[in-house]
């Protein structure tokens, strides 16, 4: 991955987080964080 692609990807992630904060009150980010923790717990169970 070269520098322009990584900068563009970081900007896209930042804009998505900003939009979530402004329009949704962090609802989508909180949902994804909770589901990520559930996935980590589920994978750790099968280890």
Q: For 1-46, what is each residue's pLDDT tens digit?
A: 899 999 999 999 999 999 999 999 999 999 999 999 999 999 998 7
Q: How confident is residue 47, by pLDDT bands cut at 50, 70 and 90?
A: confident
Cβ proximity of 9 and 16 under 8 Å: no
To which residue do tokens 């998505």 refer?
A: 16
Give the pLDDT confidence score for residue 36 in this predicted structure.
Answer: 98
User: Residue 36's closest CA among 25, 26, 46, 28?
Assistant: 28
Give the pLDDT confidence score for residue 25 in this predicted structure.
Answer: 97
Q: Which two tokens stand for residue 19?
A: 């939009």
To which residue do tokens 């520098």 refer?
A: 3
């Amino acid at each position: 991955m070269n520098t322009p692609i990584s900068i563009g990807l970081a900007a896209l992630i930042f804009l998505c987080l900003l939009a979530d904060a402004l329009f949704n009150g962090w609802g989508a980010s909180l949902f994804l964080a909770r589901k990520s923790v559930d996935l980590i717990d589920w994978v750790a169970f099968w280890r």
